[in-house]
Amino acid sequence: MNAGAADKADLRRQALARRDAMSIEERIEASIAIADLGRTLIDLPSGAIVSGFSPIRSEVDIRPLMADLRDRGARICVPAILSREEIVFRELLRHAPLVDTGFGTVGPGPEAEVLDPNVMLVPLAAFDARGHRLGYGAGHYDRAIARLQERGLKPRLVGIAFDSQRVDRVPDEPHDVSLDAILTETGLHAAKPQV
């Protein structure tokens, strides 16, 4: 493992340990605050297609936020892992049966329509003020975002995390795509690339 990868693994481990150390009550209260803030602070373009996610482990639970965005007219989709290299975003309709969609998540099955999101609510392990993120190490979102961009699409990228997941600096490379903003329990924080 090279030094950059070791640094990322260490930052990921530390940030996830802080998130895991939050009590269930703290995570529930912070998730509610994130949903409440997201309702008012996330702008939806006309015809919005928003990718969300089903929470795993100690992640923020954004299901109430996704339901609210749907009520505001957005089409909601969630990731399904097709292979080690590819995820797609399947439309999540009310009362649709849910199946295992990989990486510990559930979502609609293969009969659901695959959508291209123009707003992505992105899960993460750690983030910095510049909008750089650390995922869980598999690279699924990085590849999905790259595929969308290769097709000329540029979704708005909003990281979703607890404040405890913020780090001073995420090691980055020139090809890394930064988030536009990060939504935490204290607000929607615009990325500051020059920090």
Which residues contribute to the annotated binding site?
Answer: 8-12, 59, 133-141
Please give the annotated binding residues for substrate, written as ranges.
Answer: 59
How far apart are the C-alpha atoms of 15 and 107, rounded to whole Å?
26
Burial of 51 (0-12, 13-18, 19+ CB in 10 A): buried
Beta bridge partners of 186: none
How far apart are the C-alpha atoms of 137 and 35, rounded to whole Å?
26
Please give the annotated binding residues for ATP, written as ranges.
Answer: 8-12, 133-141
Burial of 90 (0-12, 13-18, 19+ CB in 10 A): buried
How far apart are the C-alpha atoms of 105 and 8, rounded to whole Å?
24
